[in-house]
Amino acid sequence: MANLNLYSAGDKRFVIVNMILIAIFTVSTMYPFIYIGSLSFSSGFAARAGQVILTPIETTFEAYKYILSQRMFWVSYGNTFIYTIFGTLCSLLFLIPGAYALSRPQLFGRRFFNLMVAFTMWFNAGLIPFFLNMRDLGLLDSYIGIIIGFAVNGFNLILLRNFFEGVPSSFEEAARMDGANDFQVLWKVYVPLAKPAIATVALFCLVSRWNGFFWAMVLLRDEDKIPLQVYLRHTIATLSNDDEFSATLIDAPYSVETVSAAIIVCSIIPVIIIYPFIQKYFEKGILMGGVKE
Amino acid sequence: MSGVKLESIVKAYGALQVVHGIDLEVEEKEFVVLVGPSGCGKSTTLRMVAGLEEISGGELTIDGRVMNRVAPKDRDVAMVFQNYALYPHLDVANNIAFGLKIRKNSKEEIAASVDEVAGILGLTDYLERKPSDLSGGQRQRVAMGRAIVRRPKVFLFDEPLSNLDAKLRTQMRAEIKRLHKRLGVTSIYVTHDQVEAMTLADRIVVMNDGRIEQIGTPMELFLNPVNAFVAGFLGAPPMNMIEATIGEGDTSPVANFAGGQLALSKLSELQNSVGRKVTVGIRPEYAQIVTEATLGSVACDLDLVETLGSEALLHTTVGDEPFVIRTETLDKMDTLESVTGFTAQPDLIKVFDAKTGLALSGQTREA
């Protein structure tokens, strides 16, 4: 049987060019991961000498041994978990009812509120006013400040709102005829229907909380409250000037570079573990939130 | 008495009024069908009864209680939606039980009710399936199950069969009729399909442009439409309408029109209306085909024959106007292509005033 040739030469060229572009993109995305991983398992001497390119040189676990022995590493790691878990829960607690309310045509002043939410995506008060605001609210240097201060994000709110708007109104009407009140309509009908969108928003919150660095650095003074990302910066910035640490480097098999790389590896492991579980929702959610059915 | 009464019901969106003072009384256990073209206000009226639309004016009573400001959940009505509105995350059993759970009925009571309803609707084998695993007809049954499980005083149906294919629609129509006989619950059913209206209704309410045109039993409306709109809306294919002038015949009044002349009934209203411009309505099934011109026949040009099996539709033109004839095919197939005209029994011809569209009086016929 003759092979069917469904693709023209132009189609084939298009596919080949695409494959090459995707390959380049994949390599350029993967390389930093590979490099950081290899660096963290290399000796301090090889790292300083710039010998690490793709695979670990003079493989060693000493950088990990060093950071795992640091109290501040565990404290900041724990803090990151606190900020991420409670921050995400807090975000969902505000975002879900907020988005649902904004999606309801009967909401008084709906257009105004929606405009105000969108406004925050284009403009914000800026660093100093926000800092002063947090200070005046007594939220500086506190867990609550970081958790509540960044709970609601305009983009996430609009993403969820769009999803709720796309749900046919007959679901709500059917639930109301069945005797459901507003809260029951939201909880028993809309939330289960919006699982993909909620998972997407939850992932956005998780990742931004986990990687949250700047505001934590600005708002937190107490070392025992800083998250891992701030600790990482602290390590890079201070260890190189720390005489005590430099003294240990003379005969230590690790360096500032390998220690930093090891912290980075530790910080991305939880995200890598979680992502496959919510990836399916993530992909669906992006589509659902953006496109009204 | 769980009847529904609408008194001067008005619906307006700002300055735009879409339902203009409707009066309707649905008796207990009655099956009333609201029918009309798209945008005539029938769904809006139903949604006002359900409580899903605010009533702008007038009074709605269900079971003798004024319901204008009562929340949908407290009206004791259940509704079947056009798109079923089944909760996709719940299985059939939980979809049916949803309302009972919200009302905090006991677990045993819920299980018994769900089993009973599933039995009635033939859903017992599907209780654990999700809506996405069901066919259109099964989904429709679940939607009905969700409505009947609460044993409401009134059922509301909003074009429930319009998403089904023709065969399933016929099947489900019969099931709805059977279900109504069995449960005897007052029902209001909205459709734009006149066949559904004719087959299901105890009484039909024909609506047009936010107003009720006529209320009556299917046969009353079919035989004695009050105006040309109702006459044209009920019946498939619709009634043929010919613009004519009433003239004086030898023995009875006649309708003169571009393509010919037809004898009309000897009604005094017609006899006294010589020279009046009218619209003559002839149902396709009441026109008798002829292959040769005879006394009293009207000539027509055959355009197309549509064979439906036991019947055929003959698309013809009378003068320049289209005219459809419905005829039996048995032993007639050979003659269909040679049709040259038709006759019509005078008492089966409806005459409407050309200006107002109202039927001229005295034409009432017993079903």
CATH number (domain holding residue A284): 1.10.3720.10
Q: How many angstroms away from the CA of B46 is the closest CA of chain A?
A: 13
pLDDT at B219: 93
Q: Which two tokens stand for residue B16?
A: 């735009």
pLDDT tens, position by position, B140-154: 899 999 999 988 999
Q: Is residue A2 part of a domain?
A: no
* Cβ–Cβ < 8 Å for A186, A96: yes
pLDDT at A247: 67
Domain B4-229, classified CATH 3.40.190.10, yes or no:
no
Q: Is residue A270 part of a domain?
A: yes
Q: Which two tokens stand for residue B210?
A: 């936010």
Q: How far is CA A13 from CA A8, A21, A23, A25, in A?
A: 9, 12, 15, 18
Do the two domains B4-229 and B237-353 of this chain adopt the same fold? Answer: no
* Cβ–Cβ < 8 Å for B80, B147: yes
In this structure, the strands spanning B287-290 and B277-282 are unpaired
pLDDT at A284: 63
Q: With pLDDT > 90 as the criterion, what percentage of chain B qualifies? A: 69
Q: Is residue A91 part of a domain?
A: yes
Per the model's pLDDT, the better-predicted residue between B162 and B70 turns out to be B70
Q: Is residue A120 part of a domain?
A: yes
Q: Which of B77, B88, B102 sits opposite A193 (nearest CB)?
A: B88
Structural domain tally of chain A? Answer: 1
Q: Which of B193, B197, B237 is nearest to B221 (CA)?
A: B197
The ipTM is 0.82
Name chain A contacts of B83, Cβ cutoff 8 Å.
168, 170
Q: What is the residue type of B168?
A: L
Ordered by start, the domain boundaries in chain B are 4-229, 237-353
Interface residues of B toward A, Cβ cutoff 8 Å, are 50-52, 71-73, 77-79, 81-83, 85, 87-90, 98-99, 102-103, 146, 150
Over residues B48-69, the mean pLDDT reads: 94
Q: Is residue A14 part of a domain?
A: yes
Mean pLDDT for chain B? Answer: 91
Over residues B318-339, the mean pLDDT reads: 88
Q: Which of A69, A173, A77, A194 is nearest to B50 (CA)?
A: A173
- B273 band by pLDDT with thresholds 50, 70 and 90: confident
pLDDT at B250: 83
pLDDT at A250: 64
Return the CATH number of the domain spanning residue range B237-353. Answer: 2.40.50.140
- What is the pTM for the complete model shown? 0.80
Over residues B324-351, the mean pLDDT reads: 89
pLDDT at B78: 93
Residues of chain A with pLDDT under 70: 1-4, 240, 242-251, 282-293
Q: Which two tokens stand for residue B168?
A: 């399933």
Cβ contact A173–B78 (<8 Å) = no
For B88, nearest residue in chain A (alpha carbons): A193
Over residues B66-81, the mean pLDDT reads: 93
pLDDT at A116: 92
φ, ψ of residue B362 to 5 degrees: the values are 90, 5
pLDDT at A30: 93
